[in-house]
Amino acid sequence: MKLWRAPFDQDPTAEPLGYVFIDKDRCKGCGYCVEYCPRDVLEMGTELSSKGYKLAKVKDGARCLACGFCELICPEFALKLTLNNKKPVNN
């Protein structure tokens, strides 16, 4: 059966709406950003920080909607979201 309309997020976004950068010196591996991202953009990696924490990482950046929730929820201010394909000046 062919549907005459489709969900807005059915197709992957060609150009990500935002880029997420994770400060490896600040991340403490709590996983909040991974748990609460509505698009499963992030995941916990295997890389350890200099303090011994397992770091979060971007799994599928193309799915990011630039909602900013990860940036808001991170208790360590380790996430930086940029819009319009502009990278932050310090990265």
The residues that touch ligand SF4, with contacts defined as CB under 6 A, are 18, 20, 22, 27-33, 37-39, 41-42, 56, 64-70, 74, 76, 78-79, 81
Q: How far is the CB of 50 from ligand SF4 (least distance, A)?
A: 14
Q: Cβ closer to ligand SF4: 68 or 88?
A: 68
| Buried/exposed code over 31-70 (b: 16+ C-beta within 10 A; e: otherwise) | ebbbeebeeebbebbeeebeeebbbbbbeeeebbebeebb
Taken in order 50, 68, 42, 85, is the CA torsion positive or negative?
Answer: negative
Q: Cβ closer to ligand SF4: 2 or 12?
A: 12
Q: How far is the CB of 53 from ligand SF4 (least distance, A)?
A: 8
